[in-house]
Structure 1
Amino acid sequence: MLILPGVVALAAALPWPAQDLPRVVVDHDDFVLDRSCEVVIPAGLVLADRGDPGVIRIKASGIRVRFAAGSELRGAEPGTPWDRLEGVGIRLQGADGVVLEGLRVHGYRAAVHATACDRLTVAGADLSDNFRQRLRSTPLAEDGADWLWPHENDDNQWLERYGAALYLEDGSGTEVREVRVRRGQNGIVLDRMDGCRIYDNDCSFLSGWGLALWRSSDNLICRNAFDFCVRGYSHGVYNRGQDSAGILMFEQCCRNRIVLNSATHGGDGFFGFAGREALGESGRHPSEWYRRRGNNDNLLLANDFSWAAAHGIEMTFSFGNHFLGNRLEGNAICGIWGGYSQDCLIQDNDIAGNGEMGYGLERGGVNIDHSRGNRILGNRFHANRCGVHLWALPTDFAERPWGRANDLAATGNLVAGNRFEGDALALHLRGTAAVSWGGNELVGVERGVDAGAEARLETVPAPELPAVPEPGDLPGRSRPVGARPELAGRRSIVVGPWGPWDHEEPLLLLRAAGPGRREYEIHPSGLAPVWEAAPDHDPAVTVARQDLPAGGAALRFTAGRPGLHRLHGSVRAGDSLWPIDAWLVRADWQVRFFPWSVDPREDEEAWRRQAEGVEPFPAEGIDFSFGGGGPAGFLPPGHPAPAGLGSDHFGTLAETRLRLPAGRYRLRTISDDGIRVRVDGRAVVEDWTWHPPKEVVGVFELDREREVRIEVEHFELDGFARLTVGLEPEDG
């Protein structure tokens, strides 16, 4: 566990002795503080924000407010679901030079919200257990409703939709240090904040953003931990990230210095976007206003942006940024994604093992669409799916305001002085991308250069590389980079219904579900989980326990015979108790896999005819995690595979008959790509489209006990594939 100095030993960090401040007992809502004091809150008191925003309100400048030891401002009873938390704990407006120390604020949508407060100091605070959304994605499938929308915040949409531990707006000169945030969605938000110093904070294991900047410039951000700020990830199943990030930077944030931070295991490590106004998607400006408009001239130096669900660094439609001396390892899609970036310097970075879960050709170390004037110098590339990938293809973006104001020709790029070792491909050029290439060392690379017919590659002498600056004399004492080595790798990202697991609190998570079975993970190791069956638990469902190789334990529940079976009881592990109430279904299916050449979206009947003559095989259920390997591996031993059956362009037809009691039933499906499920000839589930792994649910009703016929149709276009069909009572 990362421990920041000052968070644990707060008293040693405070510059004033405790006895010099008068004590004030806060015991009701709308409590106004207008002078320096030490705040005392009676133990166990809950103060909901029901009046004007802010249980504690501060409007006086130049005062110092310190929480007494043991005092906590709490807006809801412990155990209240995080998505029901509302209100503001401490509200500041127009109060300059205020110092807040030792805050403990929990159970609100926003723990602290400050507006137009210059030179504010927040030190030594614990702002954990505030608002976060309940996630709909599961380890088995992504739900698109979980995607964040950081693209608008001029009217405090971030605060209203997503909450924050510390929300600062319309100010300058603020200092935030030694703030800890856990079990929330967003840590620190800077909205139109300039000239601030953010250091020695630990806002990790959050479901949104560790630090988020909106229209904020000239800030120093150093020595912070923003690790495991992630959603939309299930290891080996999907890697979406859903716009979560360790550090988020949106809408024209410039000249920020981001140094010696750790933002590993995020949706992105760093996610920067020029902004909708910058591109001309909102607001109206003269054409010249859009010239060189974006997140510009920022410095990212000596940070760790590894193990992200998507990208280590994403910075798009921006100019003059420097990415120097960073670690970018094991990011699922790519180390750096810099679409439409111009005049940027990418130097002296360690870029290794990126692109395992790339999206098409977007994979590997550095990927830049319409790269112009970018310099990629003196980096160490190792074992990436591709080292550097630059391209420029025709796009209608050139007709938008930003595209018209800025030259989009992909010229002036320099890739020099780099070492490529063990990469699948060193340099990939597509379209009209132009690159000068010189002084690069290739060791054990499968392919050196892949340049398309229109690309221009010029070999140049090895240039003299510019000096990379040292971090210099920075405030703070924390050393978060490399402080969590035991959690290296994306496998350590475990996302539950409320966000990422912190590898400390007990966790039960559905690991797998299939025909007549469910499997749960229990973390951490050493809890020795025990199953306690409820009276109406079906004895045909048995339980087996096993230890997991990576730590923790698993409980596997299996239905011993065909039919509909109730799994009902609790898992007890240490002081934790988790109820489980689910249904297991086993059925006798007949399944056919077949290759197709007729697109099922265009001619379904012709597509179905291509399955004629394919011999079906028996299965207890429909649960096929094809991945990228296709269906052949799911055929029983000795069962013939149809000629031409591969990993893409295949279909699935399956049918069963099952006797069910009267009632309403849910068909819960996960598919990639198209799916249709019929019950007695009527379509109950239908999503006949190309899509990533996606859950679709349909309902049908029986007025009496009887046998029903269930038919499944599924097609796969290309890439990853999945097909799961489950059945349960609607009230189960």
Structure 2
Amino acid sequence: MKNILKFCVFSLALFNLHALQAQKKLITLHQGLVIKHSVIVKNKIYHLAGTDSLFLAPIVIEGDNVSVDFNGAVIDGSSDPENPDKFVGTAVIIKSGKNITIKNLIVKGFKVGVMARGISGLKIINSDFSYNFRQHLNSNREREDLADWQSYHHNEKDEWLRFGAGIYLRGCDSADIHGNIIIEGQCGLMMTNCNGGLIYNNNFSFNSGIGIGMYRSSNNRVLYNKLDWNVRGFSDGVYYRGQDSAGILVFEQCDNNTFAWNSVTHSGDGFFLWAGQTTMDSGEGGCNDNLLFSNDFSYAPTNGVELTFSRNKVINNIIHDCWHGVWGGFSYNTIIANNDFAGNMSSIAIEHGKDNIIDQNTFTSEKVGIELWSNPKRPKDFGYLKKRDTRSINYSIRNNTFTDVKNIFNINNTDNVAIDNNKISGSTLQQKFDTTVNDLEIDKTGGQAKPVIDSSYFPKPGVIVSGQNTRLAASEPQGKKYIMMTEWGPYSFKYPIAWWNKTDSSGKISLDVLGPAGKWKIIGIKGATALTNASGVLPGNVTIRKDTSALTNIDIKFEYKGDAVTSAFGKKYRAGQPYYFYYRQFDIPYKWETKWFVFDTTSDPVKNEAKFRQLMAGKPVKTTEGTELSIVFGKGFGKNIPREKIATMSSSAIDVPEGLYKIGISASEMVRVYIDDKLVMENWDPSRLIYDADYHRDAVLPLKGRHIMRIEQAQYGDYGMLNIIIKPVYKGN
């Protein structure tokens, strides 16, 4: 009887499966396909080309109540996966309709994975939009390149699309985005005018720009997401800039969103909120009443949480080892409560804040606990400052615990501050107040205080979804030293790498060999000698010494065998399969001479080219010299010369082995590059310099032996930058 029952159940299930397949047609994808009904896609790899227009796609979906199960199908848009800055097009456009579901889709090799506009009830489930567009980064271990800065301040005209996206949504209310992966790209999920959505259980990590971005989007719930290592503009111990990268970005009139139980570590800013240009101009609105609850915003090179010109709640979060734990410029009626701050340079820093509450937080081993200040002489040069009360005033600082904090309070030009019942241990009450602080009240603050916990600060969101565990495991890398930037973005630990550690005074170079568990060995070495064992297990280390020849670059080839590997560009290697990786170092001994000039309307570099040429051939205002062009320019910029309407001519001899070379130049604002008096690169039209990346140009050309390089640069504004990099183009890896 039991066997008969089991057979009947099995038969019914099989019948239902066949019935479902009958309802959903099995299709094969092709260029120009428009899907209007529910279908299942045949699982295979489809090579479909994108176009220069992001608003055209090889696959279009439209209609009401349409479900497309891509069934693990891969849409691959590029035959050159190792140059993701060249990716173009959008793979899938969801064009019109409502209640559309796509699931189990894999897209790579496009500028945008999937785009939807005006679709209510959209669902994107269990899909992977990794290894799509990302900019090539010009910053390196030694210096920042300002052309790498991003700007997300405007998106009324889809300006964000210049950075690409795994998922790009506009006007999609009540969206359900869960179970998706976007890694090794630039931007993950980007949303504009999207309200009432539920974004949960996704992994948008190891991208060079943004994990989740919102613009004019409200009442969304962002829960249980992994948003780690969305970062650029960082070199441990050298510079920490972030370049407007962030795990979560919230710009321009985004209200009443909930961000809870997310891991947002090792990102430029963990959380980056700006009220928007509308508020800057009018003094009205902002990004208000957003809740940040029980997230981890640790290890941000800049700010764990940045909130500006708005009113929000930051409750029960972990914020460790950032420059600023919370940067709250011009924040008002904001609550910062029950957070765990530790190891930050400054835990809470608020300029021109008003009516804010700082309550029940713990501060451990900080350089500065709380900084509050204003600048009374600041000019009221935009709408917000003209129309709003921007004094630093009315603070309640109660029931906090400070342990081993070097400077607990640093307050100036601030009025009406109540400091009450804060416990201090491991140090005396270190404080910096001056005569500009008025109506300051300090009560029951010291070693005997007993902070009181007020549970009313805690929200009661209830059980909304079953959430994944987002916290980094103890075995995973943690700390800013593990923000390891490559030329394509943050290192993801999914593949082996040889990482420069240090060079000592004797010239010995120490390399860390990192990656998945396995064994490594050196199988080829040029331009250096290995001084320690040339093989080992990961993690490992090898010490080398560069050969003395001035024309020799270092080129070391490693072989790895061990766990399965996924390369930086998405290529998979099975366990035990050989994987080859390289350490390369190329140094040119430059001797730059930079001549500085000042021009006016009569010698304008664009309008009066002949007169400008005469100026540049004449006597300079000053001359500077050095081995690193960015330093020569940086130290000379604005020193005994105006910062505006200046021009420079920089020259150096170079001597390189025969080969193909990539030359990259970043300059403010206009630049020409000559080799042996031949123009090889030009960026001399100021009307085309709109975004930061527009100030950079590349060229590839063959070089051999000694040459004279000359760089002409001119600028109207006071934004100063001049960087040059030359490196070999390696073929046949």
TM-score, length-scaled by structure 1: 0.73
The residue correspondences of 1:584-663 to structure 2 (distance < 5 A) are none
Q: Residues 323-370 of structure 1, C-alpha deviation per residue, up to 9 Å, x if partnerless?
A: 111111111x11000001011011111111101xxxxxxxx1100001
1:81 equivalenced with 2:89 (yes/no): no
Identify unmatched segments of 5+ residues in structure 2: 1-16, 445-450, 562-577, 592-620, 632-651, 667-694, 709-722
Aligned match of 2:283: 290
Aligned match of 1:38: 40
The residue correspondences of 1:271-310 to structure 2 (distance < 5 A) are 271-280=272-281, 289-291=282-284, 293-310=285-302
Q: Does the 8 Å contact 2:25/2:38 carry over to 1?
A: no
* Equivalent residue in structure 2 for 1:316, among 308, 322, 325: 308
Structure-1 separation of matches of 2:422 and 2:589: 59
Aligned match of 1:95: 97
Residue identity in the other structure for 1:290: G
Structure-1 separation of matches of 2:183 and 2:199: 17
Structure-1 separation of matches of 2:469 and 2:705: 61
The residue correspondences of 1:287-436 to structure 2 (distance < 5 A) are 289-291=282-284, 293-319=285-311, 321-331=312-322, 333-355=323-345, 364-436=346-418
Q: Residues 512-546 of structure 1, C-alpha deviation per residue, up to 9 Å, x if partnerless?
A: 57997766543216544433447xx45xx312357
Aligned match of 2:647: none
Q: Does the 8 Å contact 2:81/2:109 carry over to 1?
A: no
Q: Residues 412-450 of structure 1, C-alpha deviation per residue, up to 9 Å, x if partnerless?
A: 111111111111111110234541111111111354221
SS at match of 2:305: strand
SS at match of 2:172: strand
The residue correspondences of 1:64-143 to structure 2 (distance < 5 A) are 64-68=67-71, 70-77=72-79, 79-143=81-145
The residue correspondences of 1:3-18 to structure 2 (distance < 5 A) are none
Q: Does the 8 Å contact 1:422/1:446 carry over to 2?
A: no
Cα distance, 1:397–1:98 mapped onto 2, change above 3 Å: farther
Residue identity in the other structure for 2:487: P
Cα distance, 1:243–1:669 mapped onto 2, change above 3 Å: closer
Aligned match of 1:57: 60
SS at match of 1:60: strand
Cα distance, 1:725–1:552 mapped onto 2, change above 3 Å: farther
Residue identity in the other structure for 2:522: W
Structure-2 separation of matches of 1:493 and 1:105: 26
Structure-2 separation of matches of 1:705 and 1:127: 44
Shift of 1:511: 4.9
* Equivalent residue in structure 2 for 1:564, among 551, 559, 567: 551
Cα distance, 1:533–1:622 mapped onto 2, change above 3 Å: farther
* Equivalent residue in structure 2 for 1:484, among 469, 473, 490: 473
Aligned match of 1:179: 180
Residue identity in the other structure for 1:553: G
Residue identity in the other structure for 2:349: N
Q: Does the 8 Å contact 1:23/1:40 carry over to 2?
A: no
SS at match of 2:242: coil
Shift of 1:662: 11
Aligned match of 2:234: 233
Q: Does the 8 Å contact 2:163/2:186 carry over to 1?
A: yes
Shift of 1:38: 0.7
SS at match of 1:189: strand
Cα distance, 1:586–1:532 mapped onto 2, change above 3 Å: farther
Q: Does the 8 Å contact 1:380/1:418 carry over to 2?
A: yes
Q: Does the 8 Å contact 1:239/1:309 carry over to 2?
A: yes
Structure-2 separation of matches of 1:460 and 1:660: 67
Cα distance, 1:704–1:439 mapped onto 2, change above 3 Å: closer
Aligned match of 1:283: none
Stretch moving more, 446-455 or 661-670: 661-670
Structure-2 separation of matches of 1:178 and 1:120: 14
Structure-2 separation of matches of 1:37 and 1:727: 51
Shift of 1:219: 0.8
Q: Residues 551-599 of structure 1, C-alpha deviation per residue, up to 9 Å, x if partnerless?
A: 63344442344643343453333332235665467999xxxxxxxxxxx
Cα distance, 1:582–1:123 mapped onto 2, change above 3 Å: closer
Q: Residues 675-723 of structure 1, C-alpha deviation per residue, up to 9 Å, x if partnerless?
A: xxxxxxxxxxxxxxxxxxxx999x9xxx999999xxxxxxxxxxxxxxx
Structure-1 separation of matches of 2:263 and 2:360: 22
Cα distance, 1:725–1:147 mapped onto 2, change above 3 Å: closer
Structure-1 separation of matches of 2:195 and 2:537: 44
Shift of 1:496: 1.1
Q: Does the 8 Å contact 2:58/2:92 carry over to 1?
A: yes
Residue identity in the other structure for 1:334: H
Shift of 1:79: 3.0
SS at match of 2:170: strand
Structure-1 separation of matches of 2:342 and 2:482: 18
Residue identity in the other structure for 1:425: N
Aligned match of 2:642: none
Cα distance, 1:663–1:74 mapped onto 2, change above 3 Å: closer
Q: Does the 8 Å contact 2:340/2:361 carry over to 1?
A: yes
Residue identity in the other structure for 2:121: R
Q: Does the 8 Å contact 2:342/2:364 carry over to 1?
A: yes
What CA RMSD, in Å, does the superposition of the two structures yield over aligned residues? 4.5
Identify unmatched segments of 5+ residues in structure 1: 1-14, 281-288, 356-363, 589-602, 609-620, 627-655, 671-694, 709-723
Structure-1 separation of matches of 2:61 and 2:548: 66
Q: Does the 8 Å contact 1:423/1:446 carry over to 2?
A: no
Cα distance, 1:545–1:435 mapped onto 2, change above 3 Å: farther
Cα distance, 1:192–1:728 mapped onto 2, change above 3 Å: closer
SS at match of 2:292: strand
Q: Does the 8 Å contact 1:342/1:374 carry over to 2?
A: yes
The residue correspondences of 1:466-505 to structure 2 (distance < 5 A) are 467-485=456-474, 486-505=476-495
Residue identity in the other structure for 1:445: S
Structure-2 separation of matches of 1:55 and 1:65: 15
Structure-2 separation of matches of 1:550 and 1:274: 50
Structure-1 separation of matches of 2:287 and 2:704: 63
Residue identity in the other structure for 2:457: V
Residue identity in the other structure for 2:315: L
Cα distance, 1:478–1:139 mapped onto 2, change above 3 Å: farther
1:222 equivalenced with 2:209 (yes/no): no
Q: Residues 156-203 of structure 1, C-alpha deviation per residue, up to 9 Å, x if partnerless?
A: 1111x1111111111211111111111111111111101111111111
The residue correspondences of 1:655-694 to structure 2 (distance < 5 A) are none
Aligned match of 2:434: 452
Structure-2 separation of matches of 1:410 and 1:550: 56
Q: Does the 8 Å contact 1:212/1:248 carry over to 2?
A: yes
Q: Does the 8 Å contact 2:89/2:110 carry over to 1?
A: yes
Q: Does the 8 Å contact 1:563/1:587 carry over to 2?
A: no
Aligned match of 2:640: none
Q: Does the 8 Å contact 2:217/2:255 carry over to 1?
A: yes
1:202 equivalenced with 2:203 (yes/no): yes
Q: Does the 8 Å contact 1:547/1:553 carry over to 2?
A: no
Cα distance, 1:162–1:519 mapped onto 2, change above 3 Å: farther
Q: Does the 8 Å contact 1:525/1:553 carry over to 2?
A: no
Aligned match of 1:524: 515
